[in-house]
Amino acid sequence: MGVRTLTDHSLLVRAQEGDEQAFAQLVGPYRGELQLHCYRIVGSSQDAEDLLQETLLAVWRGLRAFEGRSSLRTWLLRVATSRCLSALRDAGRRPKEVPMPSTEHRVPSRAEPVWLQPYPDILLVDLPDRTPGPEARYETRESIELAFIVGLQRLPPLQRATLVLRDVLSFRTAEVAEILETTEASVKGALQRARATLDAELSGRDRDLSPLPNSPAERAVMTKFVNAIERGDVDGILAVLSEDARLVKPPERLEYRGRAAIEEHVYRGTPLRVISTRANTQPALACYIPDSHAPIARACGMMVLTLRGDEISALVWFTDTAVFPLFGLPRSVHR
C-alpha cells in the first residue's frame, strides 16, 4: 500500500489533482528525513537544502505517475537519491582542490580531499522517530556524526547511496536495487566494498569514550576550551587537547596530528568571540575574529569537536561561514 491511512490517500488524490496545500501536508512529515538523506550522500548542508527543494519539485511534477506500488516514503527517497547522484556527477557542484601549502618544519599527514559542511542539530529536532530496522548496521546518532559523514564522502557515489539505503535506512537488498535501478548482485557487490572501506575509516574512533551530549562532563571540557579561545590562550587550548589530537580543515588534503602540529594552526594570541552550538550531534563552536576597524567580531569559521573523556581528540575546522544562517547564527557580533 503506497499510503498509510485513508487521510493520506485523500491527501494524495487531492495533491495529484493539483492541490498545493494537500501536497504540503502529504510530504511535510518526510522533509527532515529527505534533507538529512541528501546531506549524508553529498556531504554539504547547503546542497542538501537545495536538493530537498529539487526533490520536492520533481515529486510535485511527477505525482500523477505515483501508483502506490511502493510506499510514498520509498518513492520520495528514490527521487531524492537520484537527484543526489546527479548532483555528484555535475562537476560544477564539486569544489576545486585546495592548493597544498608550502612545507613547514612539521609536516602534516596527508588525507584525501573531502568536501564537507557541518549539519545543524536544530534540523534534527523534528525528525520522525524511525527506529533502525533489522537491516541497519548503524544507530541513528552514529549515522549523523561527522566521522561517519567523512567516511561516506570517501566512497564512490553509488557505493555511498547503497550503504546509506541499506545500512542506515534499513531497506532490503531488493528494495535498494529497485531504488537505484540496478540488480541485487550489483547492490551486494557495492555494499561489500563500501562496508570494507567505511569500517577501515571508522576503526579506532572515540565514540564509545565520548561523554554524553550536553552532560556535565561534556560541558566541563567545553568550558575550559571556550575560555582558552576567548582569552587567546594557546597553551590553554593545547592543554585541553589529547596528545594525539587531530585537526582537519575540509576540503584541504591535509590532516594535522598531535599538539605540536596543531599549535602552528591556532590563532596565536588572538582572542576570538565564540558562540556554542551543535552540529552532527556533536559540540561545535562558531568563531568570530575581532575587526580592527570596528567594535564587532566577524565570523571566521566553525569548529566541530570530538571528545574523548575529558579531552578533545579531534577538531574539524570549517572556514566556510556560508553555513552560519542554517545554524541561526549571525555573520558578526559585538565584541
CA neighbours within 13 Å on the CB side: how many for 282? 29
> b vs e for 279-292, b when ≥16 Cβ sit within 10 Å of the residue's Cβ?
bbbbbbbbbbebee
pLDDT along the chain (335 residues), means of 10: 65 94 95 97 96 97 90 96 94 49 46 78 86 82 93 94 97 96 97 96 75 94 97 94 92 85 79 96 96 93 96 94 96 90
CA 137/CA 151 separation, integer angstroms:
15
- pLDDT in the model for residue 107: 47
Tell me which amino acid residue 212 is. L
Q: What is the DSSP letter of 116?
A: -
Count CB-CB contacts under 10 A for residue 324: 20
- pLDDT in the model for residue 135: 78
Ordered by where they begin, the domains of the chain are 1-93 (1.10.1740.10), 208-334 (3.10.450.50)
Residue in this structure with the C-alpha cell 500523477, named with its chain if needed: 64
Q: Which is nearest to 227 in space by CA: 216, 218, 240?
A: 240
Q: Which is nearest to 168 in space by CA: 127, 196, 140, 200?
A: 140
- pLDDT in the model for residue 97: 47
9 CB-near residues (< 8 Å, 6+ apart): 3
CA 256/CA 283 separation, integer angstroms:
20
